[in-house]
Amino acid sequence: MVRQMNESRVTPLLEMRGIHKRFPGVHALNEVNLSLYAGEVLALLGENGAGKSTLIKMLGGAHQPDEGEIWIEGEGVVIDSATAAREVGVAVIYQEFNLIPELSVSENLFLGREKTYCGLIDLSGERREALKWLDCIGLDIDPDSKCGDLTVAQQQVVEIVKALAVDARILVMDEPSAVLTAQEVERLFQVVRDLKDRGIGVIYISHRLDEIDSIADRLLVLRDGQYIGGGAVSEIGRDTLIEMMVGRSLEKEFPPRDVTVGEEVLRVEGLNRGTAVKEVSFSVKAGEIVGFSGLVGAGRTETMRLIAGADLGESGEIWVNGELVSVQSPRDAIAAGVCLLSEDRKEEGLVLSHSSVDNFGLPNLEFYSRKGWLNDRLEQNEFDVYRDELAIKVAGPDQLAGELSGGNQQKVVLAKWLARRAHVMLFDEPTRGIDVGAKYEIYQLMNRLAGEGKAIIMVSSELPEILGMSDRIIVMKGGCLVGEVENGPETTQEDILALAMEEPATV
Amino acid sequence: MVLVLFALFVLFSLLTLNRESATGAAAASRLSKEMLAAMSSKTEVFVVGAVRKPSGDFAGFVAADLGKNEKVTVTQVIGTPRDLRQAWDTAEAEGNTPSLLVVSGDVLKWTILSALQEESPDLEIIYPTERMVSDFLKRGNLLAIVDRIVVIAVIAIGMTLVILTGGIDLSVGSLVALSAVMATLAIKVMGGLEAGGGAIWAGFLIATLACGAIGAIAGFLVARFEVAPFITTLAVMLIARGAAFMMTGGFSIYQVPDSITWLGRGATFGIPNTVLVLIVFYVAGHVFMRHTRWGRYIYAVGGNEEAARLSGVPVKRILIFVYLVCGLCAGFGGCIQASQLATGAPNLGVMFELSVIAAVVVGGTSLSGGSGRVMGTLIGAFIISVIQNGMNLLGFDSYLQQVVLGAVILFAVLLDKARQNGT
């Protein structure tokens, strides 16, 4: 099938012209134009709050433009509901999948458009069709398996299949690779290329700039609700791109740092927890940033949770500053000066329905209370200090944590642990779902903390991040520690990946 | 929700407005009080009324009220204008010309009055004025509102804490019965009708602590074994009531001294004890939730239990604590109930848990946990009591009352939700 790549002579598959959207107090989209051609991948870039979500929600039927028009294959359309979106051939795959975990793959595929026979659902008919689609896309799973039992990567492909099954012509993917390992991302790209071959247009949102290089044909940058620029991916350099997104040039993606390494702060030996963590031992010195790399399921998060007391291990010893500590609960770990910034900050790091100040104070209330009596003013003042230091943007003291942007939420989590004066800080995917500008700030903060003599561990699935920030890199696979590498200018992503996929040495 | 309560107050005050009779005993006593207050020295008073008329009765009331006071010399004149003229002349002859004349009703129309006033310019003629009075706002009624709700309101404090953690406690009604039974049994054993104050307080203490212990056990099951609160407290509800019946063989325990009613019906320094109990408990509850660490922890556990745990909050201890407190509140509520009724019976407190939960929810606490205020619960409790009281005053059929109560609770919660979403 011939791919239609030539933009100027062919009618765009999708066109959004002159889009405006206003919410109380903010002009979310200001004269935005977007065009998407059949068979291409268009990357939609921009910092959090730039307007990307609002734009794709319009395609999904969740919002309507205040001004402007949407044209699909040369015809004006109005998308005022999810059903309407489906009818015009638009499918949106959000970051939080719309799959029901308790229902099977085929049940999810036909959700809302069940095949019926005399009023009853035709389960075997659905199953047959589901199999057909799964084969088509190359995903080898049983259509009767519950979606909740699938891996995240598999769930994502199911979402794509859902779109195909309703003859979607336009597919929008919001941060699809955020929860995938490098291998799974490659497979995803293969699927996307297959979609291109079928003439489907894909809008791809991601903060991972090197992915854009691999998968996208063209890109479009939004900033503060406005169209900033766009064009063929091959023609726009990384620095120009960052500058368009952020509005200022960042010297590098990763801030420079003077490394002074001191005494050993954290040592763990023989950590064991079922098949998730097997005989893991390592140490971290003051002022060091150790990057933990590995595929999803390698046991990195599980190891960190053991050290932070979130889970109970079967055996193993933990030393902090030379003293053996017993960690039976998060309280013990916190008391020992170890803190964990969870991978899932919304579920585990914050109480979204409470204010930032309340979240900030939660592990630190003993500092702000005497004999059980709380001193609100003291707590607020402390929070203000960190708010200014970390540049946390809060609309007011009562703003709920759930309303903050990803970057600011992460900063609130960071602030609450900084106030604890922890010695060891375990960052699990610290920049997931955070835009370029805020990422840089987080990196700077990590560097500063290392400079103050703290021991930092950073678990990350983004190899550039691992290479850009770590002094030492530890690689895990299948619950075991399979490699430890000093991070020098010679170390490459391939080295790390090779280790991550190697078979672990038999014990 | 404060607005809703205020609106209900206004509504019922207006709906129960009554013309207070101008010749009734109430008006008479009011008038007498006013007169007595205004008098400075010995006064001669004629109280005038017509025979077999309301004015005559009125005169009788006033005369009786005034006659109790030494400042006044009262002469009742019940009859015709000629009787009044005779009595007046007699008094004048004796030198006891009255300075005050109390009249009412048709007597006001007697022409002799103006004549008398001409003869004696210092003469004051007093008569009662009609007044609109709201039955709802009468002191007795307002106190009835409090008395009716005090047990529910006290328990609701504990329930608020439990619901704030995302849980629920269905056992409180049964604990009221169990507590009342235990308290009265203890008092019976410690002296029965002759028991002293110490025995009563001991009985109350035992009952309250026992219910607290039961609550703690429920909390332990929820925290340690992660049994759903609904199931755990449902089981306790059945067991507790069964135990109460077993302890009493199904009978009531009435062998308690009258002094037991001091808590539920007595007063201190003129303020009813039920009012004092509410004030003390609610202020304590509010201060605890707002200003202490554990108060904050309770909100955190309800907001996101896992995030709270990872932040070092002692989640299991908090859970046990809130169920313990709820048990204590239910236990003490049972003591108040026993005190109000001077009886302990195993069939007390039936369906109380529903009213308690309603008070908490109407007061603005979310059933999913993490948000709500103790003071909100107080308002919720009062809303329920005010509605029930108002309907009684207006003479609603008791079945209709139940329908209305349910509808109003629903309406109040919807109104609150709309207001929240609107801001």
Tens of pLDDT, residue by residue over B12-35, are: 888 888 766 666 777 788 888 888
For residue A286, the model assigns a pLDDT of: 92
Residue B316 dihedral angles phi and psi, to the nearest 5°: -60, -40
Neighbouring C-alpha atoms within 13 Å toward the C-beta of A225: 14
CB B282 within 8 A of CB B154: no
For residue B375, the model assigns a pLDDT of: 95
Question: How far A331 CA lies from chain B's nearest CA (Å)?
Answer: 4
Size of interface A-B (CB pairs under 8 A): 72
For residue A6, the model assigns a pLDDT of: 47
Nearest CA in chain A to B316: A329
CB A71 within 8 A of CB A14: yes
Report whether pLDDT(B416) > 80.
Answer: no
Which residues face A70 on adjacent strands?
Answer: A16, A77
Using a CB-CB distance cutoff of 8 angstroms, which residues of chain B are in contact with residue A340? 310
Nearest CA in chain B to A413: B311
Confidence of residue B99 (pLDDT cuts 50, 70, 90): confident
For residue A269, the model assigns a pLDDT of: 93
Question: How far A335 CA lies from chain B's nearest CA (Å)?
Answer: 9
Block residue for tokens 């969870």: A342
Where chain A has pLDDT below 50, the residues are 1-4, 6-8, 504-507
Cβ contact, residue pair B312, A347, below 8 Å = no
- Residue B71 in 3-state DSSP? coil
In order, the DSSP letters of B356-378 are HHHHHHHTT--TTSS---HHHHH
Q: Chain B interface, mutation test: which of A305, A306, A328, A351, most B Cβ atoms within 10 Å?
A: A351
Q: Which residues of B221-232 are buried (b: 16+ CB within 10 A; e: fewer)?
A: bbbeeeeebeeb
Query: CA–CA distance from A368 to each of A361, A392, B282 (Å)?
Result: 8, 21, 25
Q: How far is it, in rounded angstroms, from Cα A433 to Cα A431?
A: 6
For residue B179, the model assigns a pLDDT of: 96
For residue A504, the model assigns a pLDDT of: 45
Q: Which residues of A21-35 are buried (b: 16+ CB within 10 A; e: fewer)?
A: beeeeeebbbebebb
Query: CA–CA distance from A249 to each of A214, A235, A238, A257, A486 (Å)?
Result: 23, 18, 11, 19, 30
CB atoms within 10 A of CB B251: 12
Q: Is A31 left (phi over 0), alpha (psi -120 to 50) or beta?
A: left
Question: How far A372 CA lies from chain B's nearest CA (Å)?
Answer: 5
For residue A310, the model assigns a pLDDT of: 92
pLDDT > 70 in chain B, percent: 98
Question: How far A359 CA lies from chain B's nearest CA (Å)?
Answer: 9
Q: Which residues of B393-413 are buried (b: 16+ CB within 10 A; e: fewer)?
A: beebeeeebeebbeebbeebb
Q: What angle do CA B91, B93, B99 make, to 5 degrees?
A: 40
Confidence of residue B112 (pLDDT cuts 50, 70, 90): confident
Residue A107 dihedral angles phi and psi, to the nearest 5°: -65, -40
Tens of pLDDT, residue by residue over B185-234, are: 999 888 878 777 888 899 999 999 999 999 999 999 999 999 999 999 99
Cβ contact, residue pair B307, A348, below 8 Å = yes
For residue A48, the model assigns a pLDDT of: 65
Using a CB-CB distance cutoff of 8 angstroms, which residues of chain B are in contact with residue A348? 306-307, 310
Return mean pLDDT, chain B.
88
Q: How far is it, in rounded angstroms, from Cα A305 to Cα A342?
A: 9
Q: Which two tokens stand for residue B30?
A: 């009011």
Nearest to A412 by CA among A458, A469, A362, A460: A362
For residue A212, the model assigns a pLDDT of: 87
Q: What is the dihedral of CA B380, B381, B384, B387, to 10 degrees?
A: -100
Q: How far is it, in rounded angstroms, from Cα B288 to Cα B297?
A: 11
Residues 6+ apart with CB under 8 A from A283: A264, A266, A267, A268
CB A92 within 8 A of CB A172: yes
pLDDT > 90 in chain B, percent: 45
Q: How far is it, in rounded angstroms, from Cα A98 to Cα A155?
A: 10
CB A457 within 8 A of CB A488: no
Closest CB to B293: pick one of A335, A358, A369: A369
Q: Which two tokens stand for residue B330?
A: 């239910």
Closest CB to A348: pick one of B292, B300, B310: B310
Nearest CA in chain B to A401: B303
Using a CB-CB distance cutoff of 8 angstroms, which residues of chain B are in contact with residue A374? 291-293, 295-296
Nearest to A362 by CA among B309, B288, B286: B309
For residue B347, the model assigns a pLDDT of: 93
For residue A25, the model assigns a pLDDT of: 61
Task: Give chain B's end-to-end CA distance (angstroms, integer).
Answer: 15
Burial class (CB in 10 A: 0-12, 13-18, 19+), A381: exposed
Block residue for tokens 């002759």: B194
Tens of pLDDT, residue by residue over B389-403, are: 988 888 888 899 889
CB B407 within 8 A of CB B186: no
Tens of pLDDT, residue by residue over B45-81, are: 888 888 887 788 888 888 888 888 777 888 888 888 8
> What ipTM score was computed for the predicted complex, to two decimals?
0.71
Nearest CA in chain B to A354: B303
Average pLDDT, integer, range B79-99: 86
**Sheet order of strands, A277-285 included:** A277-285, A264-273, A315-320, A323-325
Cβ contact, residue pair B310, A340, below 8 Å = yes
Report whether pLDDT(B244) > 90.
Answer: yes
